[in-house]
Amino acid sequence: MSMTISGHAAASGFEAPLEVLSGCHRRVERQCATLRRLVAHLLERDPDEDARAAAAAVMCCFDTATRDHHADEEMDLFPALIESMAGSDAICIRELIDLLTLEHRALHFRWQRLREVLHAIAAGDSVSLDPTDVEPFICMYERHIAREEAELLPMASRLLGDDALTEIGKAMRQRRDGPHVGRAPDGSSELATGLHCLVVRGPIT
């Protein structure tokens, strides 16, 4: 379930960085659902057009959007939270940040193993997608997202002022800006909104 950010003026895009981070969670959840359906799909047939498109969409999300999402947190949000507690006992915040950072590393490790198979599927190779590789990855992501929605983002909403959030939003936009990144209708990068990634239709999704 997505969070509702309170205590800050209504905004859209990178002017509301906490909402952008929560929105990325929703996209990850959708791609995890696609991944689960892809496992079942490939039990019945070789990689067809739908399977290849689904594998490409999942790779697009986890190669780009989640990479930037983790960087948003580790390089911008986490330091801002620690700074907000300067002069205070920030043990709880540091423990949460350390845990989430370790989870990022574990998720990256599992993703690299899974990506090799998805890359082969996207290329049309006849390979199996082992549910014993897929389910631990998805379950780990679901727990990670739940922790961030329940603890990290509400904490950030309480502790960070508008100036800090503005700086985080600027850094997030700069991370996604570049010569090969398209623009969404609201002016944010398509990478941030997920519009540049494939939206898979049909039997898999």
CATH number at residue 131: 1.20.120.520
Provide the whole-model pTM.
Answer: 0.81
Q: What is the pLDDT of residues 101-143, one digit of tens each?
A: 999 999 999 999 999 999 999 999 999 899 999 999 999 999 9
- Domain tally, the chain: 1
> Looking at the domain assignment, is residue 168 inside a domain?
yes
> Looking at the domain assignment, is residue 204 inside a domain?
no
> Looking at the domain assignment, is residue 200 inside a domain?
no
Burial profile 66-99: b = 16 or more Cβ within 10 angstroms, e = fewer = bbbbbebbeebbbebbeebeeeeebeebeebbee
Cβ neighbours, 10 Å, residue 137: 19
> Looking at the domain assignment, is residue 7 inside a domain?
no
Q: Residue 119: CA atoms inside 13 Å, Cβ hemisphere, count? A: 8
> Looking at the domain assignment, is residue 201 inside a domain?
no
Residue that wins the pLDDT comparison between 190 and 69: 69
> Looking at the domain assignment, is residue 89 inside a domain?
yes
> Looking at the domain assignment, is residue 8 inside a domain?
no
Name the residue among 119, 164, 138, 129 with its Cα closest to residue 18: 164
Domain holding 173, by residue range, is: 14-193
Residue 15 pLDDT level (bands cut at 50, 70, 90): very high
d(CA 25, CA 21) in angstroms, rounded, equals 7
> Looking at the domain assignment, is residue 36 inside a domain?
yes
Q: What is the pLDDT of residues 174-205, one digit of tens each?
A: 999 854 444 333 333 333 333 334 444 444 64
